[in-house]
Structures are given as C-alpha cells and as structure tokens.
Amino acid sequence: MKCIDTTYFIDMIRRPESIKDLTERLDAEGIHATTTINVFEALFGTFAVGSEKGEKMRDKLIKAFNKLEVLSFNYEDAILAAKIGGNLKREKKDVGIDAIIAAIAINNGCEAIVTRNARHFKWIEKVTNLKVELYTI
C-alpha cells in the first residue's frame, strides 16, 4: 500500500490531466491510503474560494478520499513524527507537518509515499524506511 500525499490531491483539482497516467497506474495497483493530515491540507483551500467553486472541489476530493483508506494520527505516530522531525531539524532540515504524514504512513505499513514534494520526503527517506515515489507534471 502506498500513501498519497497532498500534492496529488492539489494536482487532481488544478491539473487533472497531468496526473491521469499516475491515477490509472495507482488504480490498477489496488487500494492505497492517505492520512487525515492530507485530507485537512487538501480541503483547507476549498473553503477559501467561492462557495460554489469550493463545493465542487470538495465533492471531487471527498470522492477521491472515499476510494482510499484514510489513516488517522495517533499517539505512536506523534512519537515517531517527533523523532523524524527532531532528528532532521538538528541537521537544519525542517520538514514540518510532513514528519507527521510520514510517521502515519510508516506505522500503518505503507511502502511508499506518492508525492511531488521531493525536498521534504527525500530528507525523510534518508532517516526512515519509507520510500518516496516522486512524480512530475
């Protein structure tokens, strides 16, 4: 199982054609996941735009989330996220909330994170066993 990062959901709204092949491949692979943090990040912007446009975007995102396993943040994730984020911060590499996303994915057995965010997740990959599956648009 792979964990789908927020960049994918943003691209799904802004440039759906750019991720068409990726979406087809992920669908063919089977069930994947995302985290409650990614749900928050993706939906946050939809409330900042006009109501009708935002509602259409939310509907599209919620349909996508319903096809995935949505992984919640818990106590064990908090400990691992603090370890990941703290160790990287010591190296002057601030990954912010992505440490939480990575911890949730790792603790739920995800083999990889699917993202366009090369910088943060490549740093995380170096200190964890979470693989990074980068895509470009």
Read off the pLDDT of residues 67-93 as tens digits, 9 standing for 90 and up.
999 999 999 999 999 999 999 999 999
Read off the pLDDT of residues 48-68 as tens digits, 9 standing for 90 and up.
887 899 999 999 999 999 999
Instruction: Calculate the average pLDDT of the chain.
Output: 97
CA distance 118 to 20: 20
pLDDT at 129 over 90: yes
For residue 47, the enclosing domain spans 2-134
What DSSP state is assigned to residue 58? H
Place of tokens 């090369």: 118
Instruction: Return the bridge partners of 3, or none.
Output: 33, 113
Closest listed residue to residue 27, CA positions, set 15, 35, 19: 19
Place of tokens 């200190």: 127
Count of domains observed in the chain: 1
**Banded pLDDT at 44 (limits 50, 70, 90):** very high
Read off the pLDDT of residues 22-34 as tens digits, 9 standing for 90 and up.
999 999 999 999 9
CATH number at residue 86: 3.40.50.1010
Are the beta carbons of 9 and 40 closer than 8 angstroms? no
Are the beta carbons of 21 and 135 closer than 8 angstroms? no
What angle, 0 to 180 degrees and rounded to 10, lies between the N-to-C axes of helices 98-107 and 75-90?
Answer: 130
